[in-house]
Structure 1
Amino acid sequence: MMKKISIILSLVTSVMALQGQNTVSEVETYGTVDQAVGNIAFTNDGELVYSHHPFFSPEIRVVKFDKKANTTSPFPNLEWNTPRETDDNYLSNVLGIRNDENGVIWMIDMAQRNNVTPKIVGWNTKTNKLERIYYLPESSVPSISQPNDMVVDTKHGFFIIADEGIGNGGDGSKAAFIIVDMKTGKTRRVLEGTRTTKPENTPTVINGKHLAVNGKDLLIGNDGITADANFEYIYYGSLNGPKIYRIKTLDLVNEDFTDADLDIKIETYSDKPNNGGMSIDNEGNLYLTALETKSVAVVLAKDRSVKTMVQDKNMVWPDGVSYNHVDGYMYVSAAQVNRGAPFNEGKSVATKPFYIFRFKPVVKGVSFR
C-alpha cells in the first residue's frame, strides 16, 4: 500500500512540475559523443542532424547521429564538409541549423574559417540533393557579424537570422537581425545595435567564474530566436540580457518600416536568464538553454513566469534546444563552450564525452522553426 502511495505522489509531483511549480522535470541522456554538439535539427523520420560546435574548429562541420550504433557520419556528405580552393560549395563554419516541414535541413554557414561568402545551405533529405544556397552579402553580414540561429518561416517565405555581433572581434554592440527573402534571395540587416538586439551588462558567470577573454567579459547580442506555431510572433533576446522580446513577424519583415518604426512595435515579453538556444511548444511555452545553471528554463505562457524545466550536472553550456516531431521530445546539447581555450588561459579544459539530452515539453512542441 505504501509503495502505491509513493508512486501516486511521484506522479503528482511530476504533473505539478509540468504545471509550472518550482521543481525540476525529468531529463534523460540520449547519447554521448566525442565532439561538442552545437545546434540540433531532424529529418522527417526523426533522425538527429547536428552541427559540431564551431567554437572548437571541428574538422567535420555537420553530422547525422546514428543512435543504434552510437556513431556519426558527415552530413550531407564528406564533400560538403571538405574545404577547398576550387569552389565554395562546402560548409566552413556552422552552428545554426533548422529543419522545415518539407524535409529540408537548413544550415547557416558563418564562414570566418575560410575565405568564402557566408550563406544558408539547404539540403533536401527526401531527395538527398542540394535544395538551394542563399548567399549573405557583406551589406547584410559585415565583418563583426556572427549569424548564430534562425527561424525558417515557410509560411511567409523568410529566413529570420539572429546575429550576435561578435564576429572578428565584435563586441556585440552591433548585433542585429538579418532578413532573407526565400523567393528572391534578397537580404536586409535590421535593428542593428538597438536596445533589444545588443547585449546588456549581465556577464555570464558559471561556477563563480566570469566568461571573459583577456580579462574582459564577453557580452553577446541577439542570440536565441523562435517563432510560435502560426509564425505570428518572433521571440528573441540577447544571450547577455535579462529580457525576452517579441515582435509580429509581418512587422519585422516589412521593408517599409524603419528601425525606429520597428522599435515601437517590439513588446517586452518576459524575464529570462542568460541563455543560448530557444524553442517553443504549441501553447506558447518557451524553452531556453540556461548557460549558467546547467539547465533548461521554461517561460510559461499562462503567466510568463520563469521556471527550471530540467537540470543535469553534465549539462555544461546547454546550447541548442529543438523539438523532435517523431518522438515528442525536446533535445538539448551540452557544448562545454565555457571550458574552451580562450576562457581558460589558452588551454581547453573541455572533456569527453559530450552529452545530448532530451525531455518531454509541457505540451507538444512546435516541429518546424
Structure 2
Amino acid sequence: MKASILVAAAVLALNGAAVHAADGIPTVGKLERVATFGGAMPTGVAVTEGGRIFVNFPRWGDDVASSVAELRDGKPVPYPAAADPFISVQSVVADGRGRVWILDTAAPKFSAPQPGGAKLVAVDLATDKVVKTIVFAPDAVLPTTYVNDVRFDFRAGKEGVAYITDSSLSGPGAIIVLDLATGKAVRRLDGHPSTSPEAGFVPAVDGKPMPASFKVASDGIALSPDGATLYYCALSSRRLYAVPTKLLRDPGVSEAALALAVRDLGAKGASDGLEADAGGAVYAGDYEHNAIRKLAAGGTTWQTIAQAPNLSWPDTFSIGPDGYLYVIANQLHRQAGFNDGRDLRRKPYELLRVKIDARPAPTK
C-alpha cells in the first residue's frame, strides 16, 4: 500500500475498507452510473427539485457542441435551445425555486474573460426560457478571474444573493458576493490565504504528482442549510474553510475584520466540488484518492462514503430530491496540459450517484 494512502487512511478515517492491490484504490459505497459522455468533458451537474438533470461542458479545448444540456433518456440534449448562446460555461446550478442558473466564465481555454462576457443566467424550468441575465462588472471579474461555482440564498436581500468562487490560475482568488436584485457584485477575501492555493501543495493523482503549474484558487463552495455559513476551498489545497455569510454581505465589515472571522476546519482531502445537505452535513471530493467524503453536522471526522477507480477526479456535486448525491467524474488531471501535451483521458466520462438519504440544503 502506498504511503500516501496510509496517511489518508489515518487522517480521514477510511473505515477499514479493503484495498485492491492492483490499483491501490479501495471500493467503498455503492456508486451507480447515471449517464456517460463520449464527446466533450463535462464539469458541472444540477439536479432540480423536480428531478430534471442538467450538465455543462466548458470550452477548454474539446469540441463543445452545446455548453449546457439536459439529460433525456440518458442522452444530453442542448439546453435551453439548440443555438448555444454561451462562451464557456463552468457550472450549472438548480436553485430550488424552479430555475437553473448557468455560470458563463467567458474565458475559453482559461484565457482572460471576454469583456462583458462573464455572466450568470437564469432559466425558468416551466418555460425553458432565459428570465434573467446578470453581467459581472469589471471590478468583480478581473482579467485573471475564472468564475467557478455558485450557491444561492433567497433569504437574504430583496431577490436573494449568490456566492461565487474565483478560481484564478494566476491572480487572486476570492468569494464574489452578488446581489441578484441589483446585479452589484463585490469581491470578498480577495487574495486571502483561504481563497488562495496552499503553499507547498503538490497533489498526486493516479500515483503521479501534478505539475508545479497546478496552482488554482478558491473552487468548491457549499452553503449551510440555514444560510449562515459558507464553506469553501481552493482546488490546490486539502483544507476546508468557513465564514459567516452575514459578514460577507455586510459592506461595513472590512477585509481585515472579515479575515479574522474565517475558520480553518482542517484537512479534508484535495477537493474540487463541495456540497451541503439539509441536515447540515458537508460533502467533499478527494481527487487524490478517487473518493467522496462526508463531514456530519457538528462532526470533526471525515467519513468515506464512496471510493472507486472510476470515480476519477470527482468534480461538481448536486443532491437530488431522490436522496442521491450526484457527481461528475471527468478525469480532469489526465488532460494534455497536465501531461506534457499528451491527452490521457479515457472516454467515456461519467455521471455517477451514491445514496445519502438526505435532501438538498434549502435556499429559501
Match of 2:163 in 1: 160
Cα root mean square deviation, aligned: 2.0
* Other structure's SS at 2:195 match: coil
Assess if the C-alpha contact under 8 Å between 1:50 and 1:63 holds in 2.
yes
Q: In the alignment, what sits opposite 2:10?
A: none
Picking from 195, 198, 205, the partner of 1:197 is 195
User: Secondary structure of 2:246's partner?
Assistant: helix
Alignment of structure 1 residues 35-184 onto 2, 5 Å:
35=39, 36-57=41-62, 58-66=64-72, 68=73, 70-79=74-83, 81=84, 90-113=85-108, 115=114, 116-156=116-156, 157-166=160-169, 170=170, 174-184=172-182
State percent identity of aligned pairs. 24
Residue in structure 1 matching 2:284, options 288, 299, 308: 288
Task: Please report how far the alpha carbon of residue 147 of structure 1 lies from its aligned counterpart in structure 2 after TM superposition.
Answer: 0.8
Following TM superposition, by how much is the alpha carbon of 1:180 offset from its aligned partner in structure 2, in angstroms?
0.9
Instruction: Work out the CA distance in 1 between the residues paired with 2:340 and 2:50.
Output: 43
Question: Separation in 2 of the partners of 1:137 and 1:59?
Answer: 28
Deviates more, 1:118-127 or 1:41-50: 41-50
Give, in angstroms, the shift of residue 362 of structure 1: 5.6
AA matched with 1:61: S
1:37-82 deviation digits (Å, cap 9, x = unpaired): 211112342111011244344231111111x3x3111111122x1x
Residues of 1 paired with 2:320 and 2:351: CA distance? Answer: 13
After TM superposition, what 4+ stretches of structure 1 lie above 4 angstroms from structure 2?
19-23
Map 1:1-369; keep pairs closer than 5 Å.
Answer: 21-23=15-17, 24-35=28-39, 36-57=41-62, 58-66=64-72, 68=73, 70-79=74-83, 81=84, 90-113=85-108, 115=114, 116-156=116-156, 157-166=160-169, 170=170, 174-200=172-198, 201-212=200-211, 216-325=212-321, 327-361=322-356, 363-366=358-361
CA contact (8 A) 2:320 2:359 kept: no
Distance 1:110 1:363 in 2: 31
Whole-angstrom distance in 2 between the partners of 1:223 and 1:190: 14
Q: Match for 1:268: what amino acid?
A: D
SS in structure 2 at match of 1:292 = coil
Give the Å deviation of 1:318.
1.0
**SS at structure 1 position matched to 2:60:** helix
Q: Which residue in the other structure is 1:16 paired with? A: none
TM-score between the two structures when normalised by the length of structure 2: 0.86
C-alpha displacement of 1:219:
1.4
Q: CA deviation at 1:368?
A: 5.1
In 2, the alpha carbon distance for the partners of 1:121 and 1:165 equals 21
1:248-286 deviations in Å (ceiling 9; x for gaps): 111111111121010111122232111000011222211
Distance (Å, rounded) in 2 between the aligned partners of 1:233 and 1:20: 27
How many pairs align?
331
Instruction: Give the counterpart letter for 2:189 in structure 1.
Output: L
Secondary structure (helix, strand or coil) at the match of 2:258 reads helix
Structure 1: distance between partners of 2:107 and 2:299:
41
Matched letter for residue 33 of structure 1: F
CA contact (8 A) 2:48 2:320 kept: no
In 2: Cα distance, 1:229 partner to 1:74 partner:
31
